[in-house]
Structure formats: structure tokens, C-alpha cells
Structure 1
Amino acid sequence: MFIAHIPNRNSKPTILLRESYREGGKVKTRTIANLTKWPPERLAAMERLCKGEFDGWSGEDMVSGEIFGVLFALKFLADQAGITRVLGAAPESKLSLFLILARIAHGGSRLSAVRWAGQHAVGDVLGLGEFDEDDLYAALDWLAGQQERIERELYQAHVARHGKPPALVLYDVTSSYFEGESNELAEYGYNRDGKKGKLQIVIGLLTAEDGDPLAVRVFEGNTADPSTVAGQIKILKEQFGIAEVVMVGDRGMIKAKGKEALSAEGFRYITALTDAQVRTLLKQGVLQPDLFDTHLCEVEHDGKRLVVRRNDTVRVREERRRADKLKQLQEKVGERNAFVAKSSRASAEKGLAALQRWVKSHKLGKFVTLTMEERVILCAIDEVAKEEDGLLDGCYILETDVPKGLMDAATVDGRYRDLQKVERNFRTIKTTFLEIRPIFVRKAKRTKAHVFVAMLALKITRQFGAGLRKGFGTVG
């Protein structure tokens, strides 16, 4: 067999796969297939096959080429999200884009990302030549210096897409722990991951009403939540040029200084009161216990609106949980007393101490008292105190300075519950797709850039989710 190229006067040559044969002592040819529409690379392979270049090849040394589809698809999403455009044309921008895409598809350190890049078509898709981990660290340094500009341009794109600036922004914080001890921002603080004894950083994420990330900031690990609010006001006012907006912050996030700072800039807020603040208002008579009998109501206090919300599902769940804990405690007390009764060498005092620790860790100490009489542990339950402890089950109180004419009580409650969108973003960043941990950097600037990379990667995953919802009505 051979490949024949048949010239045509006014069109492309016809390419035919032919073979020779003998008939009546004469050599003739016949056409097996028309290959004119084949791509050039496939034609070249067929010509080599016909020439016998693959004779004797067993296929054992066959290797896979670079993977193309992963980076191609992710870059397409990055283009849609506007990230490729705002990164610009600087040499570091392509490496920064690679870091963002690799955070989604690979995760891990810069060194492992270099190894991963060797298996993917980074040259064809991103136009990158060879690079090493030092180049990626240099890209992190560049990205840290460009963060405010990139956030500002992405915000402008958000405004252009929606036709107006956001009337409401959501803000929340989380923490991320370290295994090492050398990061410049790492400090001991309140750890939301339940990792006691670990150094950590604090991450604040500012989003639009729909959960679209607008800006992210990284703070030292011992930074208190309310002290991060001032920085967000600066972003809204100076970086984005927003003149009027409502900031929604979680329970205890927006305190007196934050409220004053927001008011000074003409901004308004929605936040939730802590249990301690609610109980103080109850003692002062500002709130009445019967308010919690309704699903939704509001009162005014010191020029602010207090929106009282009750969730019956949560209330029932908390009641059952408390009852289950009391049942477990009584079983443990009975088991311990039986053990002490059977063994004269058993220490009743140690058993009492262990059970008291259990009561404290399960937050039953307000209405449960454990005592001992003649080596028998007694459990006393104060029913009045128990009822008072469960008074706020399923209830929360929102405070806002937004006028009723702009938002009624139900809307205020709905906007506060929108904070779950920020929490969902945090879950994506810290687990699932992006896995921001472990953090393999030490310098403060690179730590902030690493978190910024995760935020930009989050925007791409949200773009992907939006495409799935549009095409299939679901993301799962």
C-alpha cells in the first residue's frame, strides 16, 4: 500500500490510499480509501506505516503525550471569569495563571506543581516555557504586588455584569493552621478547625450578595474578628469607590468600633448578637421572653432595629441533644456507682472528677450538679436553670441600622442567612476543590499571595458551577 497525491488544477490535491496488484501479467493499482479530509498528522503517520517504519514494533515502548484537556478547560473558565484578562501580559502573569489553575487541578506545593506541569501541555495552552519552583515563588511575589489592582478590575467587571454596584456585601473570617513553625504571620489564636496547639493565620473574605468573591485579606493568627472590619471598610471605600452599602457580618463580628466606622463612611450593617448580649437585654427588660414564641418579630432599641428570629427545627434538635446528653450522664453515673459498689479498691473520688469533667465538656454545668455521699455519686438537675439554659434554643437576634423602608424584618433575616454563601466558599477553599492547606510558604507576602491564588481559583470553580447549573440545573 502507498499514499498517492493526485494534483487538481483549481483545488487541493486528492490524497488516496492505494495498493498495487497483478492481473494478466500486468501491474495495476486500485484505490482503497480517500484520505483527502484527514488531518496532516494522521496522514504523516499513515505514510510512515505504509513505508514499513513500524514493522517489528511491539508497542512496549509506547508513551503518552502531554495531557492537554485539563489546562485547556480550566483556562477557558478563567477566560470566562475575566481572570486571564486582569492578570495582564506581564511575563509573571502566565506563571500566576498556572498557579491558579494548578491550585484547582493539583494543589500541593510549588515544587510539586513543577513536576505536575511536566505531564501537562503548559506550553501549548498557556504559552509557558520551562520553569522551576523559584520562578513560581517569583510569580507569587509579583501577584502580591498586583492584588489590589486585580481585585479592583474584577470588581469593576462584576459591576458591569450586574449593571450597578452591590447594595450589600457579605463578610466573614476563618482560620487555617500550620504544621510548621516558621511562617511570619503564624500565631496561636482561636482555631476554627479544632486543631488545638497549632499556629494559624486568619483569613477574611469579602463577597457580593451572591457570594462572588470580591477581596481577601490575611491577618496574623491571633487577630480578633472585629478588628478586621476596618480593613474591609477601606477596601469598599478606597479600593472599590463604593459610596453606600450594607455590610453583613456574623455574630459578634461587627462591634461598637466597627459600627462607628461604618456609620462614619455612610455604610449600614446587619449582624447578630451573641448569647451573652441577648441575655443582658433580657435582664434589662429590653427583650421579653414571649418574643421568642413567634417565628419573626422586631423591636427598637437605642435607634437600632432588633429582629428576633426563631427556628423550630433547630429548637427541637437542641432539646433532643440536651436530653440525650442527660441520658448518657445518668447511665455513666449508674455504671460508675455499680463499679465502685463491686470493688472496694475503686476510687469513687476519681470517678466523680472524671464525670465532672464530662459535664463541663458537654456544657451541662449550668443546671447539673454532681456530688458524692458515702461513695455514691449523685446527679441533681435544676429544672429552672435547665429551662433558662434552653430559652434561646433555635433563636437568634439580628441588629441592624437599615431603615424599615429599605428592608423589612424578613429581608434582614434573609440577608443575614446569606452568610452561608461565604461559609460555603471557605469550605471550598479549605477542603474539596482547592485545599489551601498545607501552606508551604514562610514569608508574609507569599502567604497572602497564596491565599489570593486560592480566591481567584474559587472564582473559577464558581464559574464552573454556574455553567453546570445553566446547562443541567445542578452542580452535583
Structure 2
Amino acid sequence: MYVDSSKTTINGKTYQRHLFRESYREDGKVKNRTLGKISKCSEGEIAAIKLALKYKDNLAALLHIEDVELHEGLRVGVVYALKTLAERLGISKTLGNTRQGKLALWQIMARLIGQGSRLGAVRMAARYGACDVLELERFTEDDLYANLAWLTEHQERIEQQLFKHNSAGAGPELLLYDVTSSYLEGMENVLAAFGYNRDGKKGKKQIVIGLLCTADGDPVAVRVFAGNTGDKSTVAEQIRTIANTFGIEEVTMVGDKGMIKTPQAKELTDAGFHYITSLSKPEIRTLLKAEVLQMDFFDSELYEVENKTDGVRYVLRRNPVREAEMAKNRQERVKKIQRYVDEKNSYLAGSLKRDKDVAERSLQKKISQYKLNDVLELTHQERVFTVTVNEEILKGVALLDGCYVIKTDVKKELLSTEQVHDRYKDLAKVEHAFRTFKQSHLEIRPVHVRTEASTRGHVFAVMLAYKIERQLSELWKKCECTVPEGIDELGAIRSTIVTLKGSSCQKIPQSKGLAAELLAAAGITLPSIIDAKNVDVVTRKKLAPKRK
């Protein structure tokens, strides 16, 4: 038996065919019989078959063949595992099998493996088996920047297909929505602007990100806005996304008190949707004054009041843990102000030249900063300041400590009082997503892009990476490691490149220990052999030389 290989050129294109054949004699003549076609096998597999046939009578000699070269290969374990999960979640299918789809998939994987710029993603591809596993040809950072624009262009289509793949839209949907911001180190991003900075970074421009999730916290859509966009202004965009992209009619959007105000609730109602939100303290006081609500209602575990006029339901509760926290926090702020007053009095007593008016302005600013203007009264006699607590006002301020009111227009037949309360609490799942986006290993910042299309594509890639991260977190729940630790463990699985007479393949060793446990928990089996494409991935821009 042997392998019969031949090449044929037709119209300038070369075709290669491989036949598995055997020789035999008939009437004294040598004849050949074809046993099967193996042209679809890779070059490495063809070489392996030829090698096995050559030494079929002495397989032990394979251990001493000088023609076989072994080299340390690329990190392929984590790339293959992430590719498998992307296929399960429908991400690979929605991105497509084109070059752009494969580049987008690599950008998503790169966020999970090791965060950084597009330049860093190219260097990473040279160390990991990105081209071999994803069947990619050579690319540079310019290709990845262009790919971000491609992601933005196809974002709505991808979101829509993923939404359908996950069986959403089969009936009434409950969607969670929240907004965050992410500061930028540079000043040149097109969407960068100064606004309400949730990161506490003064003097930093930012972008605003709106994230829409299903009831279980799975992200379905993300939008990027200019850094000075208010939370309420983003709701209309998400209504359009739901109506146009997902094409579902029975929707209940859940948002916090800063997101869905009266105008936004009307927008949702006009679009045929429902809402669940909460009220601010001034809104609660207005309802108490109008006797729609009563303080006694907060004494129950959960209490509901329905407005018969407009059908709006109010679900009330007082959280005793939060009540104690707020009281303790307020007391600590008062003590800090008192210490600050003592410091200023000591400062003024040190010299008559020190200006009392400047000290008073500083104290008033500190009281305002700690939001105690209504509670504390600042007085002075000569050059000595005194701060006193207005107990009557304090009692009124503390009246609503730990109290919150959830507002919804969903009928009681669809959601009970407890369900309305629980669905609002589900917003914590969106907050978890934002923490993973910004503080965990996905690290949406620093944002190494400037154009609008690249910025939107970058954030969208992070959202898709989070979908895989959620899946890994669930699969590895019982394993003694975090998702970043598990990815690092699988990243240590390298292939061995076997070269024979110019043909190469990559042999993947059998995993053991934690790596084997992680693969088993995820239901992933690594192949024993993959093709070695030997793609030379290099960056167009080189690292800056070290400064002397």
C-alpha cells in the first residue's frame, strides 16, 4: 500500500490529489488498485500516512527517525477552547466565515486572553495559534482597526441574530438597561467629552455606554454616546433598538430612577412598551404630601399601592440594613465636619492675621460637599466657629432612610408585587457586567482608538467577549479558579510542531491537572493534531526604542 500523489495545473491554478492505493500482480503483471481518496487530508496528515506506511514493518523505528524535527509550538489550547464556546453561543456563526468575521472573532478572544491595543492583539496572535485555529492569513494592526469599523457597520445585524439564536423574542420580554461612563486618557477621541464622571476622575474626558441585557443578565445590545450625554437621553436610542433591531412588541424595560423619568416612561408607553423603575427621594416626598403614599406602608416587608386613575403601581419597602448604613454614614460625616471645625479654630487662634472670612467659606464649602447644609448650622463668636445639628430637620431627613419605591405600569396579572420587586433588583446583573467591562480582566479602557466607528466597534467587541466570559464563569463555577486564572491555565497548553521533509503539523499534548478539569467542565475536547500554517504575523509599527 502507498500514497499516490500528483499535481495538475488547469488555467493557471494548481490542483493536488492524493490516492490511497495498493499494488498487486495479476497474470504476471503489476497492477494498482485505488482503495480510497484522501485529497481532503491536510499536508501534515498526508505526511503522517506516508511515514506510517514507510515503517509499517518496524514501527519502533519511528522513535529514531532523523528526518523528524520537533519544535515548541504556539499556545493553542485557550484559542481552541474560546473558539468552541463562541460557536456554541452563536457568535462565530453571526460574525461569519469571512476574513472580517474571523478577525472580529480574534479581537474578541484577545480581550479575554490579554487586554491591550490592536498592536498588542497582533503580537499576541504571533504567540498564540490564532491563524492556525481560526484559519487566518497574515494581518497587521491596520487590518484590526479597519475590522472595528466593520464590526460597527454590522453591529445591529449581529445583535439581532444573536438575540434570535438565544431563543429570546419567543414571548413577552423583560429587558434590563443601565448606563455607565468610561474615562479616556487622551483628548482626541471623537466622542470624548466632559460629563458626569462615575469613575471619579477629575479632568478626564469620557464616553457614555448604554447596555441592554435580558432578565438573566445576558447582554443583547450596547450603544456608545458622547461623554456629555445624560442618562435619560439614551433611553430613546434603546427604544429604537428594541423596536427596529429585535422586532419584539411585548417589552418591559427595567431602569433605575435616573434613567426612566416621566418623559422616558411616556416614550416607552407610546411605543407600546412597559417599564419598571424607582422614584427619587423628592418624588417620594411629593407622593407622601399628596397622601398617595403613607409612611406606615414602609413598615411592611413589601407593600403595594395602585393608582386607579392611570394604572401605575407603587411597590414600597424599607431596607433595615441600608437604613442603618445611611444613619451611620451621616453620623460619620457630621463627626468629620466637627473635626474640621476644630482644626480651623486652632488655625485662627494661632494668629490674628489669619482671615476669619476665608476660614468660614472653607467650612461652608466642606459642609456643602458632605451634603449636610440642611442638617448643620454654622455659627461663630469672635473668631471661634461652632457647628450644631438641627435635630428637627435631621429627623425629617432620616425619615426615608432605607426606603425605596418601585414604579411600574405592568398589570398585576402579569407580574405580582414580589416579581416587580425582584425584577428591579435584577439591575444588579447589569452593574456586574459594567464592573467586568471596566475593572475586571476585560478592561474596556484604556481606549486605544479615536474615530467614532472604531470606538463603537471596540466597545461592541468587549460586549461579545463578556458573553463568553459569562459562559465560562458558569461552566467553571465549581472549579477552584477564576475565569482569568482559567484562561491563563489553558493558555499554557502549547503544541509541538512535527516537521517531516518540509511538511508540518501541530501535535497537541494531552492535558492534565487543572487544565484537564477546566476543559472537562466546559465540555471541550482538544484535537490531537491541527495544521501548522506557519503564518508570519508581524506588526507594521514597531515598538519605540528604549530611551537613554
Specify if TM > 0.5: yes
Residue from 232, 238, 257 that aligns with 1:251: 257
Q: What corresponds to 1:276 in structure 2? A: 282
Name the CA shift for 1:166/1:402 in 2 (closer, same or farther; >3 Å). Answer: closer
Matched, 1:13 2:31: no
1:352–1:371 CA contact under 8 A, matched in 2: no
Distance 1:442 1:83 in 2: 26
Name the CA shift for 1:399/1:474 in 2 (closer, same or farther; >3 Å). Answer: farther
Name the CA shift for 1:371/1:65 in 2 (closer, same or farther; >3 Å). Answer: same
Q: Deviation of residue 133 (structure 1)? A: 0.8
Q: Deviation of residue 94 (structure 1)? A: 0.8
Q: Deviation of residue 244 (structure 1)? A: 0.5
Q: How does 1:351-366 map to 2 (within 5 A)?
A: 351-366=359-374
Matched, 1:406 2:450: no
Letter in 1 for 2:164: Q
Q: Deviation of residue 14 (structure 1)? A: 3.7
Residue from 185, 207, 211 that aligns with 1:205: 211
Distance 2:264 2:418 in 1: 24
Q: Deviation of residue 200 (structure 1)? A: 1.4
Distance 2:112 2:479 in 1: 22
Letter in 2 for 1:13: D
Matched, 1:156 2:179: no
Distance 1:163 1:192 in 2: 33
Residue from 423, 427, 438 that aligns with 1:419: 427
Q: What corresponds to 1:95 in structure 2? A: 103
Q: What corresponds to 2:342 in structure 1? A: 334
Q: What corresponds to 2:381 in structure 1? A: 373
TM-superposition CA deviations, 1:436-473 (whole Å, max 9, x none): 1111111111111111101100101011112113x559
Letter in 1 for 2:195: G
TM-superposition CA deviations, 1:199-236 (whole Å, max 9, x none): 21111111100001111111111222122112222222
TM-superposition CA deviations, 1:243-269 (whole Å, max 9, x none): 212110111311233222222232111
Q: What corresponds to 2:148 in structure 1? A: 140
1:174–1:204 CA contact under 8 A, matched in 2: yes
Q: What corresponds to 1:397 in structure 2? A: 405
Q: What corresponds to 1:70 in structure 2? A: 78
Name the CA shift for 1:297/1:8 in 2 (closer, same or farther; >3 Å). Answer: closer
Q: What corresponds to 1:58 in structure 2? A: none
1:244–1:267 CA contact under 8 A, matched in 2: yes
Distance 2:348 2:458 in 1: 57
Letter in 2 for 1:262: L
Residue from 460, 467, 484 that aligns with 1:452: 460
Letter in 2 for 1:47: I
TM-superposition CA deviations, 1:10-62 (whole Å, max 9, x none): x9434226xxxxxxxxxxxxxxxxx7xxxxxxx4xx433xx9x99xxxxxxx9
Instruction: Output the TM-score relative to the length of structure 2.
Output: 0.74
Q: How does 1:218-233 map to 2 (within 5 A)?
A: 218-233=224-239
SS in 1 for 2:60: strand
Q: What corresponds to 2:177 in structure 1? A: 171
Name the CA shift for 1:63/1:394 in 2 (closer, same or farther; >3 Å). Answer: farther
TM-superposition CA deviations, 1:321-361 (whole Å, max 9, x none): 11122223223323433454455455444433332222111
Residue from 267, 279, 302 that aligns with 2:273: 267
Shifted more, 458-467 versus 349-358: the winner is: 349-358
Q: Deviation of residue 373 (structure 1)? A: 0.6
Q: What corresponds to 1:26 in structure 2? A: none
Q: What corresponds to 1:442 in structure 2? A: 450
Q: What corresponds to 2:506 in structure 1? A: none
Q: What corresponds to 2:114 in structure 1? A: 106
Distance 1:286 1:241 in 2: 37
2:52–2:59 CA contact under 8 A, matched in 1: no
1:95–1:136 CA contact under 8 A, matched in 2: yes
Q: Deviation of residue 399 (structure 1)? A: 0.7
Name the CA shift for 1:474/1:210 in 2 (closer, same or farther; >3 Å). Answer: farther
TM-superposition CA deviations, 1:38-92 (whole Å, max 9, x none): xxxxx4xx433xx9x99xxxxxxx9853222222222222122211111112211
Q: What corresponds to 2:128 in structure 1? A: 120
2:211–2:222 CA contact under 8 A, matched in 1: yes
SS in 2 for 1:391: helix
Name the CA shift for 1:384/1:295 in 2 (closer, same or farther; >3 Å). Answer: farther
Distance 2:391 2:269 in 1: 44
Aligned Cα RMSD in Å? 2.6
Distance 1:335 1:228 in 2: 45
TM-superposition CA deviations, 1:95-141 (whole Å, max 9, x none): 11111100111211111211222111122111112211111112112
Letter in 1 for 2:65: E
Letter in 2 for 1:249: G
Higher relative contact order (CA 8 A, sep 6+): 2
Name the CA shift for 1:201/1:319 in 2 (closer, same or farther; >3 Å). Answer: same
Matched, 1:320 2:328: yes
Q: Give the number of equivalent residue pairs.
A: 430
Instruction: Output the TM-score relative to the length of structure 1.
Output: 0.84
SS in 2 for 1:181: coil
SS in 2 for 1:218: strand
2:175–2:252 CA contact under 8 A, matched in 1: yes
Q: Deviation of residue 386 (structure 1)? A: 0.8
Q: What corresponds to 1:307 in structure 2? A: 315
Q: What corresponds to 2:65 in structure 1? A: 47
2:172–2:249 CA contact under 8 A, matched in 1: no
Letter in 2 for 1:450: H
Letter in 2 for 1:236: I
SS in 1 for 2:190: coil
Q: What corresponds to 1:183 in structure 2? A: 189
2:94–2:162 CA contact under 8 A, matched in 1: yes
Matched, 1:237 2:236: no
